[in-house]
Amino acid sequence: MLLKLCCGILLIIQRDTESTQVIGGRRTVVQGEDVDLSCRLIETDEELEQITWQKSTWEETQNHNFMLIQPNGVTKFIAPNGLSGRVQFIGNPSENLGSIRITAVRLLDEGTFTCIFSVFPSGAYTTEIPLTVLVPPVVNVTVDVTPVIGENEVVLATCVAAGAKPQADVTWKTGAFGSLLRTVTNSTQHANGTTTVLSHLLGVPTKAANQQQVQCVVNQSALVTEKTYNYSINVHYLPQSVNITLSEASKTTVLLCVADGNPHPNYTWSRLVQPWPGSSVRAEGDKLHLLSLNSELNGLYVCEASNPYGRATGSLYVHTSSETSAVCWVLLVILCLIVSAALVWYWWKYRQFPWSSIVAKVPEQTISISSKTRRHDKVEEGEDDLLAATVQTRKEPEEEEEVS
């Protein structure tokens, strides 16, 4: 009878201890954030003696105690474990709640945490809480060697997604320019479990490729959304198409030298044949200031644009004239235009030029010289010799004059 009673008591105790357990759960956190590791002892009324936290990693597979919690809530760190100063107890022993919080989580915090409840008289109850730490990639779009214009395929840009856990997915958006490009991607696994991905964008470095906009797109578990990084392709080439123009932005007379080159060219001004006009001009990079407009400035000016890959030149002949002379010439041209217009109008209206009527009104001069003489050696009655001399330039149509 006594034996049956003892067996019944043991069976009841066994059923109670089987239902007693510590509950927790797997946690995942992004590096740098805070995480709560929750554990609770359920289905028991036994006396709590102590809560113990342990940790193991893939490098150190053996559990190491790092925190003890007394029933009154007093905590004690046993070993630093890299957690000292970043772990705090957020549970309540009276409720069999042994949760902790880790702040500013590091990659080294990743591992398996074990929560142990020690109760009397049953002993210890445990649960394991795996902690996974995600590390976002450090992304940079660059190029190791700046491409120089040529005909061979080279790396135009490289997108680096470094130190990510898990490995990042890297792609490119190249728009219409993409048909001329291709990508090569490789990755490197690091000892701490992170991975670096390098995605190279390859193409022929041409002038048309310079300043083309491309985008590196990165996807990874630690990122809330995909990240897009803009990049402008940079192709170096020697200066081309040097032009010298008159700047309109300045209140003074300024010559502006413009050249297409990458990197941006340096500019040098000179004057051919004649010496430099001294204080009459001032050169400032791509600008040439004409300080005094006089004949001393006249001449052929040359602008040389240069960068590490070559040089190119452009020239402009400068001729200055006085303002008074220029005004006179302008007035003369205007006067000539007015006179010409008046003559055309007069001809259209009268079908003759003004001076034609003036010449027509000049009286015709008719000069007649006459004298009657009788010859003494030959005299005949009723016969006279008439000597008449007449000079006539033009005959007037209005009236005729008789000369006797």
Interval 217-239 mean pLDDT: 97
Q: Check residue 284 and give its pLDDT.
A: 92
Interval 79-84 mean pLDDT: 78
pTM over 0.85: no
What percent of the chain has a predicted confidence (pLDDT) above 70?
A: 78
Q: Check residue 19 and give its pLDDT.
A: 80
One-letter amino acid of 389:
A
The CATH code belonging to domain 19-134 is 2.60.40.10
Residue that the structure tokens 């809480």 belong to? 129
CB count within 10 Å of CB 24 equals 20
Distance CA 163, CA 138 (A): 7
Supply angle C-alpha 302, 308, 311, rounded to 5. 25
Q: What are the CA-CA distances from residue 147 to residues 23, 202, 392 (Å)?
A: 60, 11, 97
Q: What are the CA-CA distances from residue 170 to residues 162, 184, 211 (Å)?
A: 11, 11, 22
Q: What are the CA-CA distances from residue 194 to residues 81, 92, 104 (Å)?
A: 21, 37, 18
Percent of residues in the chain assigned helix, strand, coil, to nearest 5: 20, 45, 35
Q: Check residue 336 and give its pLDDT.
A: 77
Query: Above 60 in pLDDT, residue 193?
Result: yes
Query: Above 90 in pLDDT, residue 42?
Result: yes
Query: Above 70 in pLDDT, residue 357?
Result: no
Cα torsion angle, 375, 379, 380, 381, sign:
positive
Please report which confidence band the pLDDT of residue 196 belongs to, taking 50, 70 and 90 as the band edges: very high
- The average confidence (pLDDT) of the chain is 82
Query: Above 90 in pLDDT, residue 232?
Result: yes
Please report which confidence band the pLDDT of residue 17 belongs to, taking 50, 70 and 90 as the band edges: low
- Do 19-134 and 239-375 agree at the fold level? yes
Supply the DSSP symbol for 176: G
Distance CA 302, CA 259 (A): 13
The CATH T-level fold of domain 239-375 is Immunoglobulin-like (2.60.40)
Query: Above 70 in pLDDT, residue 366?
Result: no
Interval 368-378 mean pLDDT: 33
The domain 138-232 having CATH identifier 3.40.640.10: the answer here is: no
Q: Check residue 140 and give its pLDDT.
A: 97
| pLDDT, tens digit, 9 for 90 and up, residues 46-58 | 999 999 999 998 8
Please report which confidence band the pLDDT of residue 340 belongs to, taking 50, 70 and 90 as the band edges: confident
Q: Where are the domains of the chain?
A: 19-134, 138-232, 239-375
CB count within 10 Å of CB 244 equals 20
> Largest alpha-carbon pair distance within the chain?
217
Strand-by-strand arrangement of the 27-30 sheet: 27-30, 123-134, 111-120, 47-56, 64-69, 75-77
Structure tokens at 17: 């201890």
Q: Check residue 51 and give its pLDDT.
A: 97
Query: Above 90 in pLDDT, residue 390?
Result: no
Burial class (CB in 10 A: 0-12, 13-18, 19+), 367: exposed
Structure tokens at 168: 């990042």
Highest mean pLDDT among 17-26, 138-147, 325-334, 360-369: 138-147
